[in-house]
Structure 1
């Protein structure tokens, strides 16, 4: 007997901005953005829905954001805080399923197979999880449910914010059919232009397109695109087992090519990753940079550190070197950094050199200040200054 899979995708709504508004209720209902710097090279990394109404989105330059929204409230990121809140959310999700795959600081998949007696239908579970996260953290989430990760993710974005969309088994193709092909992972602006030449505008068009048309224009990748358009995806929800890596990534609403803006975004991600490493008592040996270009093609580059570390400086320098070698003026819609080859801090601290030991002392003091006086008590000057 074939068992229908039960998958939920959970996506925190405007996560960074929502955390800032939750921590400072006077910001509620106002256009709030989280971002770095004030010049034309300053960049927004998250925006509230009130700010998005003015066209302020992730990767919008601060200069453009202020022109579009003169009353914009710009807040420097507090990545330590976002990491802590993210862990709170993941702890809640862990009560609903033993298999939770966290894919970013604000997104996760849950495998709910076999939990029918405990949690009921996918809709019941989704409604319960929304309420549980709201009760525990004060934040809203959007939830999508389906028989595959692909459709569950698309469903989670269908009714944001605070949405709940369940696509029943067997209805995936019909539900997807009227939606634009551009929301399919892997189909960027250039591919959309090619599809338009073939009169393929929706997922339904793509799902019924002849193989020879697609192979001629996309090669071996063509038939795979048609499967995605039908919602066919058997990728399992993977909790990763024992921690093998720790990373963060950011999807950008606008493609970013400016190297300084990319470096600034990368530094913020590294700060978050290094804080998480220290919180879990781990040191990392390997640093991996991830980029996704305008055509949704993923690029990963990896390097080993000279010494295992949980500090931002060596991790950032390694990631920045990879970025300089890789980017070369291209535009990207996702940037991420992850660390792997993890070991316990007590075992690997022997590898610390004098410079790393000094930074560890400074970092420990900074972490203490953040915990005592708030996450914004201290941050790197680069994440505040005008980088023009």
Structure 2
């Protein structure tokens, strides 16, 4: 059986890099993209100069300026980022149709067939892709190369910025054994805290404990972690079940207290959700040529999610207008007020507690029978 050859491409501080490209005066200075200070703004990303001061994505603009008074904050330009992303994706499809975009600035490519057909190494393909991206857009990208998505994604961070890293199959188990848990995709702050409490600091510690111990303490995720401790992951590029929703969320190191703090993060989440919706819509449009039955589903509901410090999840929904349902293509984020109103309503309902996780999203309607579901619900509280 042919060994899989997976590449993960991750653009280097994508939004910030585009702003510095279009405005050379920003180069060499600490800068970030996001909402302005004084407007309860939150950062989308920051360049490497700013990161030296502890400035990063999801940080409030006010706090960012306290950490770095010389920080320049630029308003996001979504249309420009989509434009650059489309050029990058065209390059991906020169090598394979098996592409899975995670967002505008990163994605997986399965280049197994290309490498076999052209008798080239995946490392050479990754280098070619990065070079083409730079020649076309003047932007740099980093790459990870491995035999599965998990290792490819981890390794793309290993030689940033503007570099690449390969994990050969014979080195996968050894590499994973030494991998710190904080670098494993899917492990959040609370899970990491639980692991440290149990004396687990790297994947190798989970391997030593055994699969039964991992499942006892972490359920299904424990089994996945045990497999990853051996460098094993069965996820295939682009092979996902039909999506029922598109969402994004943020877990906070310090709980949010009060609606004002919660509202600060809405612009950041809305921007990320917009990226994900556009990426998914464009993916469907490309696939239509291969599958005439494929269609872009309408949006059934908007929803907001809050998790309190006692780990209880709370959600609230708003149904898309039946007479003119929103679509992935036409949904406008001027509708952001709906999310804010949902947030106010939900936060009041649950008693205004401290919030450790905030998320927003849309639920998709793939079946006609779903169109009338929930008509008895309130349109908006």
Contact 1:246 1:273 in 2 (8 A): no
Q: Which residue of 1 aligns with 2:300?
A: 286
Query: Distance between the aligned counterparts of 1:9 and 1:300, measured in 2?
Result: 33
Contact 2:104 2:279 in 1 (8 A): no
Bigger drift between 198-207 and 130-139 goes to 198-207
Query: Distance between the aligned counterparts of 1:244 and 1:190, measured in 2?
Result: 27
**1:51 Cα deviation (Å)?**
0.5
Change in Cα spacing, 1:290 to 1:123, as seen in structure 2 (3 Å) is farther
**1:245 Cα deviation (Å)?**
8.9
Contact 2:154 2:185 in 1 (8 A): no
Correspondent of 1:331 among 356, 360, 369: 356
Q: Which residue of 2 aligns with 1:354?
A: none
Query: Distance between the aligned counterparts of 1:292 and 1:147, measured in 2?
Result: 37
Q: Which residue of 1 aligns with 2:182?
A: 182
Query: Distance between the aligned counterparts of 1:149 and 1:277, measured in 2?
Result: 19
**1:214 Cα deviation (Å)?**
2.9
Q: Which residue of 1 aligns with 2:32?
A: 33
Q: Which residue of 1 aligns with 2:370?
A: none
Query: Distance between the aligned counterparts of 1:178 and 1:278, measured in 2?
Result: 38
Q: Which residue of 2 aligns with 1:150?
A: 150
Report 1:235-274 matches (<5 A): 235-238=235-238, 249=248, 257=256, 258-269=261-272
Q: Which residue of 2 aligns with 1:353?
A: none
Query: Distance between the aligned counterparts of 2:87 and 2:305, measured in 1?
Result: 27
Query: Distance between the aligned counterparts of 1:38 and 1:75, measured in 2?
Result: 11
Q: Which residue of 2 aligns with 1:118?
A: 118
| Unaligned residue ranges in structure 2 (runs of 5+) | 286-295, 367-381
Q: Which residue of 2 aligns with 1:233?
A: 233
Report 1:67-146 matches (<5 A): 67-116=66-115, 117-118=117-118, 120-146=120-146
**1:137 Cα deviation (Å)?**
0.8
Contact 1:33 1:51 in 2 (8 A): yes
Q: Deviations over 1:347-376 (max 9, x none)?
A: xxxxxxxxxxxxxxxxxxxxxxxxxxxxxx
Change in Cα spacing, 1:141 to 1:69, as seen in structure 2 (3 Å) is same
Contact 1:247 1:337 in 2 (8 A): yes
Change in Cα spacing, 1:234 to 1:323, as seen in structure 2 (3 Å) is farther
3-state SS, counterpart of residue 107 of structure 2:
strand
Change in Cα spacing, 1:314 to 1:57, as seen in structure 2 (3 Å) is closer
Query: Distance between the aligned counterparts of 1:172 and 1:109, measured in 2?
Result: 18
Query: Distance between the aligned counterparts of 2:334 and 2:39, measured in 1?
Result: 28
Query: Distance between the aligned counterparts of 2:126 and 2:333, measured in 1?
Result: 40
Count the aligned residue pairs.
340
Q: Which residue of 2 aligns with 1:351?
A: none
Change in Cα spacing, 1:329 to 1:177, as seen in structure 2 (3 Å) is same
Query: Distance between the aligned counterparts of 1:289 and 1:34, measured in 2?
Result: 26
Q: Which residue of 2 aligns with 1:217?
A: 217
More relative contact order, 1 or 2 (CA 8 Å, 6+ apart): 1
**1:289 Cα deviation (Å)?**
5.2
Correspondent of 1:305 among 293, 301, 320: 320
1:59 aligns with 2:79: no
Pairwise CA RMSD: 3.9
Contact 2:248 2:273 in 1 (8 A): no
Q: Deviations over 1:99-126 (max 9, x none)?
A: 1111111111101121113371111011
Query: Distance between the aligned counterparts of 1:274 and 1:200, measured in 2?
Result: 36
Contact 1:274 1:311 in 2 (8 A): no
| Unaligned residue ranges in structure 1 (runs of 5+) | 343-388
**1:213 Cα deviation (Å)?**
3.5
TM-score (norm. length: structure 1): 0.74
**1:37 Cα deviation (Å)?**
2.4
Query: Distance between the aligned counterparts of 2:232 and 2:306, measured in 1?
Result: 23
Query: Distance between the aligned counterparts of 2:150 and 2:205, measured in 1?
Result: 18
Query: Distance between the aligned counterparts of 1:240 and 1:220, measured in 2?
Result: 18
